[in-house]
Amino acid sequence: MRLLALAVTVSAVTLAAACGANGQDAVRPGDPVETRAANAPDQQPAFAGQTRAPGVRTGVTMAHSVVASGLEEPWGLALLPDGRWLVTERPGRLRIITAAGAVSEPVAGLPAVDAQGQGGLLDVVTGPTFADDRMIYWSYAEPREGGNGTAVARGRLSDDGSRVEGVQVIFRAMPTYAGRLHYGSSLAFARDGKLFITLGERSDAPMRPQAQDLASHMGKTIRINADGTVPSDNPFVGRAGALPEIWSLGHRNAQGIAIAANGDVWTVEHGTRGGDEVNLDRAGLNYGWPEVTYGIEYRGVPINEGITAREGTEQPAYYWDPSIAPGGMTVYDGAMFPGWRGNLLVAVLKDKHIARLVVEGGRIIGEERLMTDLGERIRDVAVAADGAVWVVTDETNGKLVRLAAAN
C-alpha cells in the first residue's frame, strides 16, 4: 500500500556540479537539468520555478542492479509485506518477484484485459488491510460491448500467491469508448482507506472536452471507498449532473499518483509536445485540460490559442516543456537517502530516467535526473523497506531494477 509521508520542510539539497556518474546528469550549480529549447518558447510560467527548476545533485554514490528481466511491458509495481513485489505485465499477467529475482508463474484468476494500444493490465496496489485480508487492487482496460474502458477490480491473493479469489469489479469509468489511448489508471490509497484512481480523457479530439464534463469520468481523478462505494464527503456529491466519484477534473492522462501522510494528493500527467504536469490535486478543482495548458499540439500548432491561465482553473505545481513522458510516481520516505525525504520520484518513459523533484510549500524547488545510464523507459517507481528505490522498465524485455547507495 502506498502510504507515503511528505515532510513539512525539505532538508538542504546540494547545489553542486555533477560529474555524470551513477546515472546522474551533469549540471552546473543552480542550472536547470533541462537544456533543450521549449516547444512553446513564448509561453511564460505563472510563477518562478514552475518549470526548469534549479538542478540539484545527491551527494551519495549510487548504483543500480537488474534484479529480474524477461518481463513483457511491465506497468505497475507494488511491495508486499514480505519484501516480494507484485508486478503487472500489460498483456494481462500479474507476477510475484522476490528480492532475489525469482519470477513466479502468472497469478491466476484475473479478468480479461483489452491489451491494444496503451490498454491492458495496468496498475496494482495492496489494500489498506492486506495484513488481515490479503486484498489487492488492480486497474485495467476492460473489454466491453462497443469498446473498452478503465476498470478497477479487487480480490484476495491466495496464501500461496498463485491466484486471486473472489474477484469484484469496484469501478468502471464511463462512457465506454472504442479507443486505444489514455486510460490513466494509477492507483493509491490514502491513510483513511480511500482509493484514488487517475483517468485519462482517451486522447482523441472528440473525447477531449469530456475532461471538463462532470457527467463523464474521462480526464478525472476519482475517489472511492475500498468497496467501490462513494465517500459522502466527495466534492461533487449531491450536485445535479455530476458523477459523485469525481475528486477533480481537467486532466489529460495522469499515470502517476502519490499521497502524502498529511493527505496531499500529487498527480503527474502527460502533456502533448510540452505540458507534462505535476499537480497538487485538490478536491473539486479544475486543472484546465483541454482549455488551459502548456505546450503545443503534436502537429505543431497552439492548443486552444495557447492559453496557459484562466480564472477557475488551477496552475500545475510544475511542468516540463519539452515533454519527458512521466509514468508512475512515489513520495520518498526511506532511510537510505535521508536527504530525499518528502521528494517526489517520477518514472520517466521517453527521456528514460527517474526525476527527483524537491518539494517545498507545495512547489518544486529542485530537480535531479537519476539512472540516466540505464537507457530504458522507466514505467513505475517504488520504495522498499530499506529505502532502496525499485523500478520497472516498459520494454518488451522489461526489467525490475534496484537503485541503492553504493557500498
Q: Encode pLDDT of 247-257 as tens digits.
A: 999 999 999 99
**Cα–Cα distance, 258 to 383 (Å, whole number):** 12
CA distance 105 to 118: 24
Cα–Cα distance measured from residue 113 to residue 178, given in angstroms and rounded to the nearest whole number: 14
Give the confidence band of 3 by pLDDT, cuts at 50, 70, 90.
very low
Cβ-contact 207, 147 below 8 angstroms: no
Residue 263: the pLDDT is 87
Looking at residue 22, its pLDDT comes to: 60
Please identify which of the residues 64, 182, 251, 353 carries the catalytic annotation: 182
Q: 141 CB contacts (<8 Å, ≥6 apart)?
A: 113, 114, 115, 116, 118, 119, 120, 122, 148, 149, 150, 151, 183, 185
Q: Is 182 a catalytic residue?
A: yes
The average pLDDT across 143-172 equals 98
Rounded distance, CA 251 to CA 185, Å?
Answer: 12
Across 275-294, average pLDDT = 98
Give the predicted TM-score (pTM) of the model: 0.94
Instruction: Please report the pLDDT score of residue 9 as a whole number.
Output: 25
Region 41-52 average pLDDT: 97
Fold of 21-405: Neuraminidase (2.120.10)
Among the residue ranges 16-30, 193-207, 309-323, 345-359, the one predicted with the least confidence is 16-30
Residue 174 has pLDDT above 80, yes or no: yes
Backbone angles phi, psi at 233, to 5 degrees: -100, 15
Of the pLDDT bands very low, low, confident and very high (cuts 50, 70, 90), residue 395 is very high
Confidence of residue 30 (pLDDT cuts 50, 70, 90): confident
Residue 371 in this model has a pLDDT that exceeds 80: yes
Query: In which band, very low, low, confident or very high, does the pLDDT at 26 lie, cut at 50, 70 and 90?
Result: low
Residue 2 has a pLDDT of 37
pLDDT at 16 over 70: no
Instruction: Report the mean per-residue pLDDT for the chain.
Output: 93
76-127 pLDDT tens trace: 999 999 999 999 999 999 999 999 999 999 999 999 999 999 999 999 999 9
From the number of C-beta atoms within 10 Å of its C-beta (0-12, 13-18, 19+), residue 345 rates as buried
pLDDT interval class at 28 (50, 70, 90): confident
Residue 42 has pLDDT above 70, yes or no: yes
- Average the pLDDT over 297-313 and give the result: 96
Question: pLDDT above 90 covers what percent of the chain?
Answer: 91
Instruction: Check residues 19 and 45 and name the one with the higher pLDDT.
Output: 45
Weakest-pLDDT range from 23-37, 152-166, 332-346: 23-37
Where do we find the cell 508512475? 328
